[in-house]
Structure 1
Amino acid sequence: MTGKELAPDVRRALQSLAGESADVVAKHLVASGQLVDVDPEAAWQHALAAQKRGGRIAAVREAAGIAAYKAGHFREALAELRTVRRMTGDDGYLPLMADCERGLGRPERALDLATSPEVAGLDTPAKVEMLIVAAGARHDLGQHDAAVVSLQVPQLRTNSRAPWRARLWYAYADALISVGRAGEARDWLVKAAEADADGETDAAERLDEIDGIVFDEVWDDEDDTTDEARDDQPHDGDDATDGR
């Protein structure tokens, strides 16, 4: 790990740091990026170390915000994402910020962000993420029917291979299940499972639950009689078989 694995624009931004800080911060950012999906807490610690030296760089604050979010440190994640949004003017962080509000037990604030005017300017992937977060907030508030309706958007019927489709279909299936429409939900879970090449959802497992499929673990010593047990069994010609 050298730090050169970072995107060129991030490396250029780090050059404004003094002394060896640019190299140190770069290495922490690379480590955080590599760990964020496998060990979020370790990724968060690396991002914190980067932030201490390079906190005035937007890419560093973004990495800290994402790592904190993945590790479940929603208060810290929200603070970092708010900061990077102020630094960059990028509203694309709004869905993550709204989900942080949910994580902090504030679904009403999540819905406030979801209905803010800035959402209209988001690109399609970010709009879809916000729809999913908002539906989750409605579930948090017990508004399950409203969650179903909120996801009945044109993107639900997409014929594209957009990477967000599996998550949207899964969210819609989950909303249908919450209102007792398991039959319809199954159709959407099938679509989500087929589209989810990266395993972002547990659509396949939910399908098995709906279909009532249970996989029992089979242990070798349950299938085969042990040698000791076989030795205890009488054999033809043994004394035990003729009563002597």
Structure 2
Amino acid sequence: MPIPPEVTGEEIDPDVRQELMSLPKGLADDVARNLVMVAQLIDEEPEKAYGYSRVALRLASRVAAVREAAGFAAYATQKYSEALAEFRAARRMSGGVELWPVMADCERGLGRPERALAMAGEPEVQKLDKAGQVEMRLVAAGARRDMGQLDAAIVTLQSPELASGAVHPWTARLRYAYADALLAAGREREAREWFAKALEADKDGATDASDRLAEMDGVEFVDAFDESDDIDESPAGEASEDAGAESDVDDEGHRDADKG
């Protein structure tokens, strides 16, 4: 797959670059450039990112960072079985636990929420950092919902991290997931409160909390200009009282995505 000439591979994370040092320099550079393309495309064009990840995998399948990148690219394209296999390989090579939550979420994607829940109770969870533990909680709550256990999902999300007023990178998604679970359980007033709290913490637009709030408030986007209004089919000289009345409409309104 072609790679733009401005992509040199030097853009890669220093830790990944260190892993690639085990390869011959030319090969390491090729792998690095493909990994840069994965990182650049995975959010907006995941299928293209997946293609670059497969090239990197063919070139350096014994590098943990490459297996991890291939896993995330497969995950982004909902190839959950493939993603899980790559994450397991990366974990065997690195010995870390960072991928545990996303591995559990792959189990959900494969229609095995009970396995995801089992993973949430494994000792590996205690070795995760705070962000990883929150992510695991989100996955576990999602598994509960997959199984139709809404009340249990709500309880799973109730935690010191949810109650805290401090804002962390994961705060908006945690609050959003809680609001969404409350809404699914019919607790609309509480759900609206937590969507608002999610929006307050969501500085990067990681969720569509603003849209959810607008929907709950019955607000919709309307076109400020309708081309049909530009065509006056009334006889020349006729008074336009009716048209004036019709144009007297309320133009208030505003209507992403967790991704969780």
TM-score normalised by L of structure 2? 0.85
Where relative contact order (Cα < 8 A, 6+ residues apart) is larger, the structure is: 2
The alpha-carbon deviation at position 195 of structure 1 amounts to 1.1
The alpha-carbon deviation at position 19 of structure 1 amounts to 5.9
Partner of 2:242: none
**2:186 is the alignment partner of 1:185:** no
Give 5+ residue unaligned stretches, structure 2: 1-6, 239-260
Instruction: Look up the SS of the partner of 1:20 in the other structure.
Output: helix
**Which residue identity is paired with 2:236?**
P
Distance of 1:12 and 1:163 partners within structure 2: 27
**Structure with larger Rg:** 1
More helix by share: 1
Computed over aligned residues only, the root mean square deviation of the Cα atoms, in angstroms, reads 1.5
Residue 93 of structure 2, aligned match among 87, 90, 108: 87
Tell me whether 209-218 or 80-89 shows the greater mean CA deviation: 209-218
**2:146 is the alignment partner of 1:140:** yes
Partner of 1:35: 41
The alpha-carbon deviation at position 92 of structure 1 amounts to 1.3
Distance of 2:74 and 2:182 partners within structure 1: 31
Cα shift readout 1:37-84 (whole Å, capped 9, x = no counterpart): 110111111011101111111111111111111121111110111111
Instruction: Look up the SS of the partner of 1:108 in the other structure.
Output: helix
**2:167 is the alignment partner of 1:161:** yes
Partner of 1:240: none
Instruction: Look up the SS of the partner of 1:142 in the other structure.
Output: coil
Tell me whether 74-83 or 193-202 shows the greater mean CA deviation: 193-202
- Percent of matched pairs sharing the same residue: 53
Distance of 1:210 and 1:177 partners within structure 2: 10
Superposed, 1:43-82 pairs within 5 Å as: 43-82=49-88
Instruction: Look up the SS of the partner of 2:210 in the other structure.
Output: helix
Give 5+ residue unaligned stretches, structure 1: 237-244
The alpha-carbon deviation at position 218 of structure 1 amounts to 4.6
Partner of 1:105: 111
Distance of 1:41 and 1:14 partners within structure 2: 24
Q: Give aligned pairs, total.
A: 232
The alpha-carbon deviation at position 219 of structure 1 amounts to 4.4
Partner of 1:4: 10
**Which residue identity is paired with 1:184?**
E
Instruction: Look up the SS of the partner of 1:119 in the other structure.
Output: helix
Distance of 1:22 and 1:77 partners within structure 2: 23
Superposed, 1:113-152 pairs within 5 Å as: 113-152=119-158
Query: Runs ≥4 in structure 1, deviation > 6 angstroms?
Result: none
Partner of 1:234: 236
The alpha-carbon deviation at position 15 of structure 1 amounts to 2.5
Partner of 2:250: none
**2:167 is the alignment partner of 1:176:** no
The alpha-carbon deviation at position 20 of structure 1 amounts to 2.5
Cα shift readout 1:151-205 (whole Å, capped 9, x = no counterpart): 1111111122211000000010011111110100111100101211111111111
